[in-house]
Amino acid sequence: MRPATEADAAALTDLVRRGVETYVAFMPAGWATVDHDPMFDPEYVRRQLRTPGVWTGVVEDEGEVVGFALFLPDADGEADAYLASVFVDARRWGKGLGRSLLAAAMDEMRRRGHRTARLWVARDYDRARRTYEAAGWRPTGAERVYAVDATPLVEYRIEL
């Protein structure tokens, strides 16, 4: 694992797009990815990478980005850290990469003195929810809809 750089932005957005495209497996009929999602824009990701306090860990295999995790200070002030993204190339699922990325992000949160963290995850994304729950994250009961593509989300939090 290594820190992400702005040069990784295109690879990260590609990984996110491919990851979100897998949502069709659990989203309602008719749901589709939308091209205007800011997470598909390398410049948006570059801005995230420049955010003070951001941490992004990247895993590569033979020069290809196959997974990453990103957290930053919680702008809403509801927790110390906000886990914005954990994405793993679908061809690498089931190998523990998501758990490793999540553990590394949580370790870094603790190292930085964060005491609490939160995240939002697609409500019906059972695979991701199981990973978070196995690491100690718990649903809060809060729900919202991602306005960009109408994905129903649920909030998780953890005491670090």
Read off the CATH number of the domain in which 76 is found. 3.40.630.30
**Is residue 85, in this structure, part of any structural domain at all?**
yes
Of 46-50, 72-76, 145-149, 152-156, the poorest mean pLDDT is in: 72-76
- In which residue are the tokens 């758990």 written? 99
Q: Is 158 in contact with 114 (CB distance < 8 Å)? A: no
**Is residue 107, in this structure, part of any structural domain at all?**
yes
61-117 tens-digit pLDDT: 999 999 999 999 998 888 899 999 999 999 999 999 999 999 999 999 999 999 999
pTM of the full predicted structure?
0.94
Task: Return phi, psi of residue 41, to 5°.
Answer: -105, 115
**Is residue 150, in this structure, part of any structural domain at all?**
no
**Is residue 135, in this structure, part of any structural domain at all?**
no
Q: What is the pLDDT of residue 141?
A: 98
**Is residue 24, in this structure, part of any structural domain at all?**
yes
- In which residue are the tokens 């998501």 written? 98
Average pLDDT over residues 26-36: 91
**Is residue 143, in this structure, part of any structural domain at all?**
no
Axis crossing angle, helix 97-111 with helix 126-134, rounded to the nearest 10: 50
pLDDT tier at 14, thresholds 50, 70, 90: very high
CA distances from 72 to 41, 87, 121 (A): 18, 16, 16
Q: What is the pLDDT of residue 52?
A: 95
Domains held by the chain: number: 1
> Which domain range does residue 71 map to?
2-116
- In which residue are the tokens 């003070």 written? 52
Q: What is the pLDDT of residue 75?
A: 87
pLDDT tier at 118, thresholds 50, 70, 90: very high
Strand order in the sheet with 2-3: 2-3, 55-61, 64-73, 81-88, 116-122, 151-159, 138-146
Q: What is the pLDDT of residue 76?
A: 85
CA separation for the pair 57, 104 (Å, rounded): 8
Q: One-letter amino acid identity for 152?
A: P
**Is residue 100, in this structure, part of any structural domain at all?**
yes
**Is residue 33, in this structure, part of any structural domain at all?**
yes
Q: What is the pLDDT of residue 43?
A: 97
